[in-house]
Amino acid sequence: GENVEQHPSTLSVQEGDSAVIKCTYSDSASNYFPWYKQELGKGPQLIIDIRSNVGEKKDQRIAVTLNKTAKHFSLHITETQPEDSAVYFCARGGGSNYKLTFGKGTLLTVNP
Amino acid sequence: DTEVTQTPKHLVMGMTNKKSLKCEQHMGHRAMYWYKQKAKKPPELMFVYSYEKLSINESVPSRFSPECPNSSLLNLHLHALQPEDSALYLCASSQEPPAAGGTGELFFGEGSRLTVL
C-alpha cells in the first residue's frame, strides 16, 4: 500500500541543536515527498519537497534527503530556533494513488 | 497572491443547523480540495475538484456537500452534522489536479474550526 511511517512522534531539542525526522514508505512508485509544518491553530505549510530524481535538497537551515533504495526520506533542521516549534508532517505522492499520504506527524519543541 | 483564504475561522453549530464553509484562491490553480483534520492527526482527504468538477469523493457522508461555483471558490455545505464531525476543515489548492503517477504542491488555507454541539 501507500503507508508512511514517521518517527519520532515527539522531539525536544535545545535551541541551536539539530533536529532530524525520518519517514519510510512502502510504495516503490512514490515520486514526490513533501514536508509540511503546522503551527498551533494554523493550516499546514509546505516547507520543502523533493522528487525522486534527486537525493538531497537544501533551503537555508532545512534539508531533505531521499534514499529510494531503502524507501526512506528525512528532514534535517540545523541551528534550531524556538519558532521552529510545530508539528511536522511528511507525505508521499505518486504511483498508482492520486493522493498524498501523510505520516502521523512529529511534534517538535525547541527549548530556549 | 499565494494564499488560500478560508471563512469562517471558527464555527459552532447545532446538529439541526445548516451552515457553509467557504474557500477562495486567486493563484489560477485548477484543483481545489477539502480535508478534515482531527486533533493530533494528519489531514484526511474528503473531496477533490478538478477544473471545477468533482473528481474525487472519499466516501464522505452526504451531510457534507461540496460546491465549486467557479475556479476560485470552493464551498462545503454542512447539514445535520454529528458531534464527531467536530474538526479543523482545511481547504487546499494545487496548480494541476492530482493524477496517478504525479502529485504537485498543495497550498493549504488556515482552516475553519468546526464545533458541533
Q: Which residues of A touch B43 (CB under 8 A)?
A: 44, 89, 102
Helix (H, G, I), strand (E, B) or coil at B30: coil
pLDDT tens-digit map of B14-54? 988 899 999 999 999 999 999 999 999 999 999 999 999 99
pLDDT of A38 reads 97
Q: What is the b/e burial string over A6-28, where b = at least 16 CB atoms within 10 angstroms of the residue's CB?
A: beeeebebeeeeebbbbbbbebe
Which of A38, A53, A98 should we substitute to test contact with B (largest number of B Cβ atoms within 10 Å)?
A98
β-strand partners of B13: B116
- Contact status of B39 with chain A (Cβ, < 8 Å): no
What does the block give as the cell for A50? 523533493
pLDDT of B53 reads 94
Half-sphere exposure of B3 (CA within 13 A, CB side): 7
Half-sphere exposure of B45 (CA within 13 A, CB side): 20
pLDDT tens-digit map of A61-80? 999 999 999 999 999 999 99
pLDDT of B1 reads 58
pLDDT tens-digit map of B77-114? 999 999 999 999 999 999 888 765 456 788 999 999 99
Tell me the shortest Cα–Cα distance from A12 to chain B, in angstroms: 17
d(Cα A92, Cα A49) in Å, to the nearest integer? Answer: 10
- End-to-end CA distance of chain A, in Å? 40
Question: C-alpha dihedral over B29, B37, A30, B59, to 10 degrees?
Answer: -80
- Contact residues for B16 (Cβ-Cβ < 8 A; gap 6+): B80
- Contact residues for A107 (Cβ-Cβ < 8 A; gap 6+): A9, A10, A11, A86, A87
Q: Indicate the pLDDT class of residue B2, thresholds 50, 70 and 90.
A: low
Q: Indicate the pLDDT class of residue A97, thresholds 50, 70 and 90.
A: low
